[in-house]
Amino acid sequence: MATLVPLGTAATFGVLANTAVTNTGPTVVTGDLGVSPAGAVTGFNPPGTVTGTIHVNDAAAAQAQADLLIGYGNALLQPATATVATELGGTTLTPGVYNSLSGTFSLNGPLTLDAQGDPNAVFIFKTNTTLITGAAGTVNLAGLAQSSHVFWQVGSSATLGVGTTIRGSILANTSITANTGAIVDGRLLALGAAVTLDTNAVTVPALTTCQVVVQPVVGPVVVGQPTPVSAVVTCNGLPVSGASVTFNGGAVPVTVTTNLAGVATGSLTFNTAGAATVTATVTAAGTACSCTGVVSAPVTITVTPQQSCQVVVQPVVGPVVVGQPTSVSAVVTCNGLPVSGASVTFNGGAVPVTVTTNAAGVATGSLTFNTAGAATVTATVTAAGTACSCTGVVSAPLTITVGAPTGPLSASPACWRVNLPFPIPHLFVATLKATLTPAQAGVTVTFYVSGLPVGTAVTNASGVATLNNAGLSILQISASSYTAVATVGGSTVQATGSLTPCFPPV
């Protein structure tokens, strides 16, 4: 199957020579004209005219010659699909790559190239030596065939007879001579020597336009996380399927293929936060357009750092005593926002305890310490459904001092109720009671719920301290216990009592 011959910058040239371009008569070249690496252009000031730019031994002509060499090699190496007779006149051919039986081609009658309804069909004619056309030689196009898809690879020189009409681009290894009145719907491109013209019309076929557009990236782009990227490849506004597209800008380029809609979708990973530039380059495409090598306009995206999960153990409020349950809490956040429903395990007590964070991201549990002295408490997230990678995150250690047990203090079971009819100043209240044994009057007892003080009471003659209507918050009623703390004889004693809903709760 024949494929388009890449001409690169040579595609804009109607005439390109190595040593000289000479003209006689009112030749019209619709396109650019050039010579390189050394030579001259004569006969165009006037009588010949050029609609494009004349390039004489400049950078543009040199690049065009370099691109022509690549195109010539491409045509030379495309495998033949058929070998035909030297004389092409009087025949009809379908798309393909044609070798000459004798190593040369002649055209002395009409040659019809039938694309059979495929506007992308390619015709390539390869000769070892010459291409020679006569006055009656003409190339006709049928079935949506295009002159931009016809190529003549000539091993030495091409000679176009007086009045002949040829279509396609002639890529000659040596020279090209167009005799009086010859018409070329294509290009005359000579690698090794001169192009000679005489009252000719040379028209560069309309250049097909290939476009590659990177689509906007949807959603956040995070360091280290794969990001979907896509680009659309079109030829004259129509989608190009099966094109290879390479995305650049991430840590590693990725190459994918366009679908029937001309869309290529891949995935890039970015290793550094900040601005990143993404481009898409077509690395291969079998299309009417010269798509290979076409690069999209760059798209700039912002890469954000990875999500940050943090676990912080809160300071323990009130004394910590051997054998007494101690309320501990930790806050879990993802980029500063609370993480609810996370499983948090507290370590440092006699037995680890696992609890779940509430809507505020707070996990509250209770640890008991069996030994007096310094103790280290940590909180570890063991499970969390969040944008951050929270699982396995451990808090900074919190050091607390565990006191030795002192005199006996007991706390009675208590319950909380809704403070009706007018819940002022607290929505929930509870009556908390602690008893000092042996009884001692006048001792101040401080009561704590969830590690926060809720009030004080003084023991009576029976050693009982009662705190009536202790105000509780909605978070504190979730605690299952309260703590009573007193100082007796210079030593701190404490006790823990249960805290449950009253029945009825009003």
Comparing 153 with 404, which gets the higher pLDDT? 153
One-character DSSP codes across 66-121: HHHHHHHHHHHHSPPSEEE-SB-TTEEE-SEEEEESSS-EEE-SEEEEE-TT-TT-
| Mean of pLDDT values over 488-495 | 82
The structure tokens 């208590």 sit at 414
Per-residue pLDDT band at 446 (split at 50, 70, 90): very high
3-state DSSP assignment of residue 260: coil
Asked if residue 406 has pLDDT above 60, the reply is no
The candidate with the shortest Cα–Cα distance to 355, out of 391, 385, 382, is 382
Backbone phi, then psi, for 266, in 5-degree steps? -135, -165
Give pLDDT, residue 370.
85
Comparing 420 with 107, which gets the higher pLDDT? 107
- Two tokens, residue 458: 């003084």
Give pLDDT, residue 404.
67
Comparing 356 with 405, which gets the higher pLDDT? 356
3-state DSSP assignment of residue 147: helix
Bin 136: left if φ > 0, else alpha if -120 < ψ < 50, else beta: alpha
**How far is it, in rounded angstroms, from Cα 92 to Cα 140?**
9
| Mean of pLDDT values over 185-212 | 92
pTM over 0.85: no
Asked if residue 36 has pLDDT above 80, the reply is yes
Q: Which of 139-153, 243-257, 279-293, 346-360 has the lowest mean pLDDT?
A: 279-293
| Mean of pLDDT values over 383-404 | 83
One-character DSSP codes across 465-493: EEEEEEEE-TTGGG-SEEEEEEEETTEEE
CA 120 to chain centre: 32
Q: What is the pLDDT of residues 371-392, one digit of tens each?
A: 888 999 999 998 777 767 788 8
Q: What are the residues facing 457 on neighbouring strands?
A: 445
Asked if residue 212 has pLDDT above 80, the reply is yes
Q: What is the pLDDT of residues 263-314, one digit of tens each?
A: 999 999 998 889 999 999 998 776 667 788 888 889 999 998 877 788 999 9
Per-residue pLDDT band at 240 (split at 50, 70, 90): confident
**How far is it, in rounded angstroms, from Cα 70 to Cα 49?**
28
Q: Find out whether 123 and 150 touch, Cβ atoms under 8 Å.
A: yes
Give pLDDT, residue 150.
96
Give pLDDT, residue 504.
79
Separate counts of helices (H) and strands (E) for the chain: 1, 48
Rg of the chain taking only CA atoms, in angstroms: 44
Other beta carbons within 10 Å of 41:
23
For residues 123-135, b (16+ Cβ closer than 10 Å) or e, as one string?
Answer: bbbbbebbbbbbe
Strands 227-235 and 238-239: antiparallel
Residue 216 CB partners (closer than 8 Å, separation 6+): 299
Asked if residue 239 has pLDDT above 60, the reply is yes
Q: Which of 88-102, 104-118, 213-227 has the lowest mean pLDDT?
A: 213-227
Q: Find out whether 116 and 145 touch, Cβ atoms under 8 Å.
A: no
What contacts 24+ positions apart, CB below 8 Å, involve 206-211? 206/148, 207/11, 207/12, 207/148, 208/148, 208/235, 208/236, 208/288, 208/289, 208/290, 209/235, 209/236, 209/289, 210/234, 210/235, 210/240, 210/282, 210/285, 210/287, 210/289, 210/290, 210/291, 210/294, 211/294
Q: Find out whether 110 and 90 touch, Cβ atoms under 8 Å.
A: yes
| Mean of pLDDT values over 89-112 | 97
